[in-house]
Amino acid sequence: MVTVLDHDSELRRRAWDAAASVVDPEIPVLTIADLGVLRDVVLDGDQVEVAITPTYSGCPAMNMIALEIEVALERAGFREPKVRTVLSPAWTTDWMSEEGRRKLHAYGIAPPQSSRSRRALFGEQAVTCPQCGSGNTEVLSEFGSTSCKALWRCKTCREPFDYFKCH
């Protein structure tokens, strides 16, 4: 009995690791585990089902991510893996891992502030420039190159940069 449990948890860990290795096609330094998009991996015998949640309702990367998860799992030896999209609870930037925030910053994208409350969504934002570290920044556009980003500019080094929106 103990052996079976160990076998299952080992199998689940392998499935999780395979799914977790998939990167966001728009921000390839982040894995879907870093982003908090990967929600669950369930094993039923040898059948794997992975649950993912969209960052934004219309995020066009979701189809691509689902496809890549299937490929990653098949490579890891799982047959006919299934990917399910869950909406609840709704994704929040608070699910982004510390590792994910660090990688984003190193990539030149300012990581999201903690959302905590609706107040944060409407209140003053203090975003640090990922290039020079200055806090003297301003928003150029509330919407950026993807659903999850806004466009900012550093008033110290004059460089524009992406900010991962707080959500």
Partner 1 sequence: MPAANIQVSETPLVLYALRRADDALILGHRLSEWCGHAPMMEEDMALSNIALDLIGQARELYSYAAKAEGKDNDEDKLAYLRDVRQYRNLLLVEQPNGDFAQTLVRQFFYSAFADLYWRAMMTSRDATLAAIAAKSEKESAYHLRHASEWIIRLGDGTDESHQRAQAAIDHLWPFTGEMFAVDEGERALIHAGFAVDPGTLRGCWLTTLSDVVSEATLTLPQNDWMQQGGRAGRHSEHLGHLLSELQSMQRTFPGQTW
Q: Give the interface with partner 1 as residue ranges (CB under 8 A).
A: 54, 56-60, 86-91, 118, 121-122, 140-145, 147, 151, 165, 167
Please report where in the chains the tokens 């004059």 appear, as a residue.
158
C-alpha torsion 57→114→144→37, nearest 10? -40
CB of 150 to partner 1, least distance (A): 9
Nearest to 3, CA basis, from 44, 11, 73: 11
Calpha distance 67→95 (Å, rounded):
22
DSSP letter for each residue of 5-16 = HHHHHHHHHHHH
Structure letter (DSSP) for residue 71: H
CB of 27 to partner 1, least distance (A): 16
Toward partner 1, which CB reaches closer, 3 or 57?
Answer: 57
Whether the CB-CB separation of 147 and 55 falls below 8 Å is answered with yes
List the Cα angle 133/138/144 in 5-degree steps.
95
Toward partner 1, which CB reaches closer, 14 or 26?
Answer: 26
Which H or E element spans position 133? Answer: none
Toward partner 1, which CB reaches closer, 9 or 141?
Answer: 141
Toward partner 1, which CB reaches closer, 79 or 118?
Answer: 118
CB of 111 to partner 1, least distance (A): 18
**Cis amide prior to 60 (ω within 30 degrees):** no
Toward partner 1, which CB reaches closer, 12 or 82?
Answer: 82
CB of 122 to partner 1, least distance (A): 6
CB of 142 to partner 1, least distance (A): 5
